[in-house]
Amino acid sequence: MPMNQPSRSDVHVDRPLTEISIAFLQSADTFVADKAYPILPVSKQSDSYFTYDRGMFNRDEAEELAPGTRAAAANYTLSTDTYSAKVWALAKDIADQVRANADSPLSLDREATEFLVVKMLIRKERNFAANHFVTGKWTTERAGVASGVTGTQFLRWDVASSTPIEDVRAAIRAVQVLTGFRPDRIVLGRAVYDALLDHPDIIGRIDRGQTSGPAVAMKDSLAALFELKQILVMDAIYNSAAEGATNVHAFIGASNALLLYTPASPGLMTPSAGYTFAWSGLLGAGATGTRMLRFRMDPEHSDLIEIQMSFDQKLIAADLGYFFLDAVS
């Protein structure tokens, strides 16, 4: 006998659960995708946006104005690209018997919401790692080696004689010269971050010669050394094993590093290495493109909590990023 489906009257956007999901999204520090590519709410699921030739903004074209003459003209060219925010969804059921046996029945809804949010963040983080935290995407890339540096290679940062501070600062200058914008954050795999914490050059600069105790290089200290606003560490893990099999956990982020320029205030007319286009026009969705639905499944004697998230992680300007492949062994 086919399973009965919920009627339209049985399904609705649950605003309290949606608010819980948004609050949880904002506090999920383990995941960095939305910080690397800031969220840009859009009313349409798919549309076009403009891109600019930044070289035209950096020319000095002003001329002295003689009496009775017209001002010199300057312009810039526009190109267009498109985004398409796919809708991702996942659901969890809460059986009536489970709810009746719970010490706090309503807490099950919150727990289901947070469970689903984590699942969706894993999907989002894996999408970012697979499509943007990889080689072949950015205008400038360098590969790390254990020894014998040639060409554009660099000495991996877990080698004591490597120069991570100089490498990162040189990369920042390269992007700035190429685009006129100075990168303000770096995304690091956990192994890369750990290697930087233990690097003798970094410890020495933070310690400033003190010998009374070990200096601890944390994110703020690293950001100051690199002259960046933010250090983003990809701490989220993913279990690649099928349900019922032995767990196979691994960090989502590989041992790479990615410098990025992102604006303080995202906008369709504002340059950025990348944006996360979030379809806020989806009925009941907030600025993150997320909504929570509640279904009553009478034949199964249960409630179904569903999360929907609509987004497109879009690389906007490849020259506003600088990629270090295999930054550690």
Instruction: Report how far residue 308's alpha carbon sits from residue 288's, in angstroms, rounded to the nearest whole number.
Output: 11
Backbone φ and ψ of 258, nearest 5°: -140, 115
pLDDT tier at 41 (50, 70, 90 boundaries)?
very high
The predicted pLDDT at position 14 comes to: 64
Q: Map residue 180 onto helix, strand or coil.
A: coil
Instruction: Report how far residue 319's alpha carbon sits from residue 22's, in angstroms, rounded to the nearest whole number.
Output: 32
pLDDT tier at 74 (50, 70, 90 boundaries)?
confident
Mean per-residue pLDDT of the chain? 89
pLDDT at 31 over 90: yes
328 compared with 74, residue with greater pLDDT: 328
**What pLDDT digit, counting tens, does each position of 116-144 carry?**
999 999 999 999 999 999 999 999 999 99
What integer is the mean pLDDT of 168-174?
A: 98
Instruction: Give this prediction's pTM.
Output: 0.86
The predicted pLDDT at position 216 comes to: 47
Instruction: Report how far residue 19's alpha carbon sits from residue 129's, in angstroms, rounded to the nearest whole number.
Output: 27
The predicted pLDDT at position 77 comes to: 77
Backbone φ and ψ of 129, nearest 5°: -65, -40
**What pLDDT digit, counting tens, does each position of 142-157 carry?**
999 999 999 999 999 9
The predicted pLDDT at position 107 comes to: 83
pLDDT > 90 fraction of the chain, expressed in percent and rounded: 65
Q: What is the CATH number of domain 8-58+76-325?
A: 3.90.1690.10
Spacing of C-alpha 88 from chain mean position: 17
pLDDT tier at 8 (50, 70, 90 boundaries)?
very low
Q: What is the DSSP letter of 6?
A: P
Q: Are 206 and 221 in contact (CB under 8 A)?
A: yes
The predicted pLDDT at position 248 comes to: 96
Q: Where are the domains of the chain?
A: 8-58+76-325
**What pLDDT digit, counting tens, does each position of 236-277 carry?**
999 999 999 999 999 999 999 999 999 988 988 889 999 999
Centre a 10 Å sphere on the Cβ of residue 315 and count the other Cβ atoms it contains: 17
The predicted pLDDT at position 26 comes to: 55
**What pLDDT digit, counting tens, does each position of 198-219 carry?**
999 999 888 764 544 444 458 8
